[in-house]
A and B are shown apart, each in its own frame.
Chain A
Amino acid sequence: MVKASLNTDGQVLIKNKQKQFSPWKLARKKFLKNKIAMTSLFVFVSFVLIAVFGPLFTTHDITRINFMSMNLPPSAEHWFGTDTNGRDIFTRMVYGARTSLLIGLSCMTFIIVIGTIVGAIAGYNGGKIDQIFMRITDFVLNFPFLVFVIVLNTILVGKVSGVWTLILVISLLSWGGVARIVRSRFLSEKENEYVLAAKSIGTRPIKIIGKHILPNVASTIIVQATLMLAVTIVAEAGLSFLGSGVPANIPSWGNMLFEARDSDVLRNKTWIWVPPAAAITITILAINFIGEGIKDALNPKSRR
């Protein structure tokens, strides 16, 4: 705690009685103590590492159909068995993690960037600009998400390569919620005196938004980011499960789950659909716990 006191000479003395922590450092300490969140972080980071480096170590060829090894149950040769096309499921899981996490992380980045820019401009300026930006946001939010993603994907597929179609489409249709939340935080934050002070010495608006207000809104944005990561991973898997997501030749967890739509696979060949189902659920659970942990750590009122 900083204590300022006036001594007899009229000088201001500042005593550092206790060691000081910045809010970010406090939050980090709180997060590190949160066992569930740390376990989840460990799980998520290991999934990411497997996705990045796993393909370097896998030996099975999953690019061609292998009639000799169709529908094999798990064995020493094929850890998770093989699918209806004779491809090794473990290898496909590793590549699938790459696709699913790449889509999740890129969508999250795009959504947060677009949402923050729109929300910041609308919230900081207010008035007419706010009105226009928010009407556009309402418009985007009013689309039934899945329906429009499927329609847009059908149009764009083949025009943009591979997974980027899906990333583009999901991002374009999902930034509305983030924009709304960032705007409302900006609206309340800009009333503070430090903003007025910055304005009065002639700081340019872009600098006020980026350097002064944004750090104060960052905690909200970070929490939104974890939420969006979970939402977009589920969206990718769901769309691929419906057959309108990632192109069928690229392995993703959703594409692998697509095989469970065949009732024979669902009933008799559990090894084909259980790994992707489990991977998706564990990933989402981990991300949700990380998000809860961050929210808790950044909330000065919560004590744990």
Chain B
Amino acid sequence: MLQYSLRRILGMIPLLFLTSIVVFTLAKFMPGDPFGGEIDPSNTNPEYIEEMREKLGYNDPIHIQYIRWVTNFVQGDFGHSTAHKIPVFDLIVDRLPNTIFLAIVSLIITYIFAFAMGMYSGRRPYTWGDNLIAGYNYVGLAIPSFVAGIIAIYFFSFQLGWFPFAGSVEVGLQPGTWDYYISRMHHVLLPALILGLMGTASYTQFLRNDVIENSRKDFVRTARAKGTSESAIYNKHILRNSMIPLITFLGFDIATLIGGAVITETIFTYPGIGLLFLESVDRRDYAVLMTITMLLSFLTLLGNLIADLLYGIVDPRIRLG
């Protein structure tokens, strides 16, 4: 397992390197001059501009610029945001916890609902309840997150007034107080519910089929023959076996949640990494743009790595492949 993990982790390095080249190249192709935001805009003297270009290193050969960017990047110096006038690092540190918080809460919601529905469907397949759950999953798969999001805001925020429709916390609350945490929870709940409930379909379907398959196996017959109660069979014997393959979904979920953050955060005006990304595209804030693109690529790679490692744990045959 250790050898397999090391091989997988080392395999990430060339991919990260290639990604960094792609991100750097793309940033160079972006319309407009990133240089514009870093100098005094009122000074239009060509000599001054040329001097600053030289000083900031925009006249160096492209590979030197790339190496400088990567070296700084690895050391945690992500550059300076031209729109926010603060180091990109501080900006990311400010926004990233919101994205991670939303991802975790929505994952928990997905797990709770998927387990409840999957176990119910698996225990009573082809019944009225099972069909209802299957129908819900079809609809859940078909409604895109942004449509679900605006419908949810319309009903729960505007019509019923249960949830706020923007932001991550009430303005003016002191961090650390009880009200502050309650307010954060209140703000995250609607986007997390939407994301979480949209994500249950694959889990539920998988769990249902696996439970049905397991319930025909010998160990279940043995347990029944020994007089184990029906609920103990399902909740202990079968659930334990069916849960293992489900773990592998986690890695892909991380990648999906990270990628989907751009859309969810825009609908709910939730100040996380995704919203910051779109703002930086609009404002041509290149340092932020490059950092977030790298960060999200890294997190996607990490998600896939976790999925691979979990596969390796669950199915020993994969480690040898």
Contacts and interface: CB of A to CB of B under 8 A. Distances in A.
B49 interface: no
Contact of A138 (B15, B145, B289, B293): B15
Given A154-B30, A284-B144, A146 B150 contact: no
B87 interface: no
B143 A147 contact: no
Nearest to B293: A147
A288 B263 contact: no
B15 A241 contact: no
A146 B262 contact: yes
Interface string A276-289: 01001100110011
Interface stretch (B39-47, B151-159, B232-240): B151-159
Contact of A151 (B26, B153, B154, B301): B26
A242 interface: yes
B151 to A, nearest CB: 7
A147 B146 contact: no
A144 B138 contact: no
Given A144-B297, A242-B262, A266-B158, A154 B147 contact: no
B114 interface: no
A280 B142 CA distance: 9
A224 B316 CA distance: 29
B149 to A, nearest CB: 9
A270 interface: yes
Contact of A280 (B15, B144, B259): B144
Contacts of A80: none
B236 to A, nearest CB: 31
Given A154-B281, A244-B281, A273 B262 contact: no
Contact of A154 (B31, B141, B299, B301): B31
Contacts of B138: 285, 288-289
Given A147-B262, A241-B146, A267-B158, A142 B19 contact: yes
A150 interface: yes
A53 interface: no
A257 B255 CA distance: 26
A267 B154 contact: yes
Contact of A266 (B15, B153, B296): B153
B320 interface: no
Contacts of B139: 285
Contact of A281 (B143, B255, B267, B293): B143
B165 interface: yes
B144 A242 contact: no
A260 interface: yes
Majority-rule SS of A interface residues: helix
B266 interface: yes
Given A154-B281, A263-B165, A144 B300 contact: yes
Contacts of B255: 144
Nearest to B139: A285
Interface residues of A, number: 38
Given A142-B15, A241-B263, A263-B165, A155 B146 contact: no
Majority-rule SS of B interface residues: helix
Interface in B16-52: 18-19, 26, 29-31
Nearest to B299: A144
Contact of A237 (B146, B153, B259, B301): B146
B147 A139 contact: no
B54 to A, nearest CB: 26
A142 B304 contact: yes
A194 interface: no
Nearest to A148: B293
Given A150-B262, A152-B26, A281-B143, A242 B150 contact: no
A246 interface: no
Contact of A146 (B19, B144, B158, B263): B263
Contacts of B293: 144, 147-148, 151
B150 A277 contact: yes
B314 interface: no
11 contacts: A138-B15, A139-B19, A142-B19, A144-B296, A147-B292, A150-B262, A155-B29, A261-B266, A261-B267, A263-B158, A284-B144
Given A144-B300, A145-B259, A284-B142, 11 more contacts: A141-B304, A143-B297, A147-B292, A147-B293, A155-B26, A238-B146, A260-B150, A267-B158, A270-B154, A280-B144, A288-B142
Interface of A: 138-139, 141-148, 150-152, 154-155, 230, 234, 237-238, 241-244, 257, 260-261, 263, 266-267, 270, 273, 277, 280-281, 284-285, 288-289
